[in-house]
Amino acid sequence: MLKGKNIVLGVTGGIAAYKACDIASRLIKLGAEVHVIMTRAACEFVAPLTFKSLTGNKVHTSLFDENEEGVPHIDLARKADAILIAPATANFIAKAAGGIGDDMLSTTILAANDKKIIISPAMNTHMYENKVVQENLEKLRGRGFVVIKPATGRLACGAEGVGKLPEPGEIVERVVMELAFEKNLLGKRVLITAGPTQEAIDPVRYITNHSTGKMGYALARVAKAKGANVTLVTGKTNLPAPVGVDVVEITSARDMFREVTERYFEQDIVIKAAAVADFKPKNVNDKKTKKENGELNIELDRTDDILKYLGQKKAHQVLVGFCMETENLIENAKKKLEGKNLDMICANSLTVPGAGFGVDTNVLTILTKDGEKMELPMDTKENLAAVILDKIATINEQ
């Protein structure tokens, strides 16, 4: 996802410097070329050799290194697609806000005034809440720096409060969001549904399906990365909530209907990737159903077809559905596209290897109401989400 991207990772002298090793390693796994700059204080916490071993690149610790070729702080600033400073101490933040360049990292920042700079402050709560630190952060935001809000929890000094470096995965996700995707949904309101619904039989049992929510969550993450304001209405899954997305958890098809329809008119785009149960038990026992001799028959009622309802009420929204079939994929997808008044449908066959429930990949055919057909070969759900959202962005512009 970060293939071909040069990321300069600035590490300053706080206890969270050890977490920067994990950040470097995660960026590399995503394909980035990582160049680490450490302040003198950072070298008190972690050895430069750790970063050299992780990144395979020279670690820059001094402005005055006789073994360096060229002018390293200018060269690094020039080649950086983004600069991430994690952790960023109060001292570093003050230097950056004040335009001071007295070491390798601060001079690189000065030389990178046309680049994306992301900083992740980490310090004691009192220090973080100090007016001077807040004013400096405000100054940096005003100059276009992206400031990641610190997490709350137990700090190295023993106190509880705001000031912790967020988990490395969260910081890396933020970098991906800033870099990997074209910002072609800036300010758009996008509602995505994901996961299975559960239809209660009694307080112990329910009817559901195999959906894990991966496709819907990938769409939510990528839509957020493309600049959208995203609401994710999701059934029960084991997936982490996408950063910066408004997550609404639901259980049944009825809950999903309520939460989606309530928000429908304020949306620009609605994508229904959820696997909604088509049937629910007609009568829900309020006590556990006991075993009795013989068979148990459960009478089922239809649930609401949420997408069909949205299609009937459609005004300005771009409406997108999914369809999973075991036979006659395109024919069935076309029927759903027309029958539910959709702008686009993403169809996949459960019988194709690499597609379907629980896996990180999918194979999709996109059909639009204008008769366009795009066949997308097997790819990660994240990459497919980007293609789907790019197509939606063009429909939304029309």
Active site residues: 157
278 in contact with ligand CTP (CB under 6 A): yes
270 burial class (0-12, 13-18, 19+ CB within 10 angstroms)?
buried
Distance in Å, CB of 278 to ligand CTP, minimum: 5
Report which of 181, 183, 185, 180 is spatially closest to residue 393, judged by C-alpha positions.
185
Does 272 help bind ligand CTP (rule: CB under 6 A)? yes
CA nearest 325: which of 335, 338, 317, 316?
335
368 lies in the binding site for ligand CTP (CB under 6 A): no
CA 144, CA 348: separation in Å to the nearest integer?
41
Task: Report, in Å, the least distance between residue 356 CB and ligand CTP.
Answer: 12
Least separation in angstroms between residue 337's CB and ligand CTP is: 10
Residue with tokens 């209907």: 257
Strand residues in 195-299 grouped as ranges (E): 199-200, 206-207, 229-234, 246-249, 269-272, 279-281
Is the Cβ of residue 42 or residue 277 nearer to ligand CTP in the bound state? Answer: 277
Considering the rule CB under 6 A, would residue 212 count as an interface residue with ligand CTP? Answer: no
List, in order, residues 6 or more apart from 16 with CB less than 8 Å away. Answer: 86, 87, 122, 156, 164, 165
Counting Cα atoms < 13 Å in the Cβ hemisphere of 247 gives 18
Q: How far is the CB of 336 from ligand CTP (least distance, A)?
A: 5
Residues 304, 309, 314, CA angle at the centre, nearest 5°?
Answer: 165
Position 83 contacts ligand CTP (CB under 6 A): no
Q: Confirm or reject binding of residue 321 to ligand CTP (CB under 6 A).
A: yes
Q: Residue 128 or 322: which CB sits closer to ligand CTP?
A: 322
Q: Does 255 bind ligand CTP (CB under 6 A)?
A: no
Find the distance separating the first CA and the last CA of the chain, reported in whole Å.
29
Q: Kindly state whether residue 388 participates in binding ligand CTP, applying the rule CB under 6 A.
A: no
Question: Beta strand 33-38 with 82-88: parallel, antiparallel or unpaired?
Answer: unpaired
Which region among 51-59, 166-174, 269-277, 364-372 touches ligand CTP (by CB under 6 A)?
269-277
**How many Cα neighbours within 13 Å face the side chain of 248?**
17
Q: Which of residues 301-320 bind ligand CTP (CB under 6 A)?
A: 303, 305-307
User: Which CB, 129 or 262, lies closer to ligand CTP?
Assistant: 262
Q: Environment class of residue 175 by beta-carbon count within 10 Å: exposed (0-12), middle (13-18) or buried (19+)?
A: buried
76 in Cβ contact with 8 (< 8 Å): yes
Q: Does 336 help bind ligand CTP (rule: CB under 6 A)? A: yes
| Of 253, 269, 384, 385, the one binding ligand CTP by CB under 6 A | 253
Q: 32 or 306: whose CB is closer to ligand CTP?
A: 306
# residues contacting ligand CTP (CB under 6 A): 14
Contact between 390 and ligand CTP by CB under 6 A: the answer reads no
Verify binding: residue 274, ligand CTP, rule CB under 6 A. Answer: yes
Of 134-173, which residues contact ligand CTP (CB under 6 A)? none
Is there binding between residue 324 and ligand CTP (CB under 6 A)? yes
Q: Judge whether 93 and 136 are in contact, CB under 8 Å.
A: yes
Which residues are near ligand CTP by CB under 6 A? 253, 272, 274, 276, 278, 303, 305-307, 321-324, 336
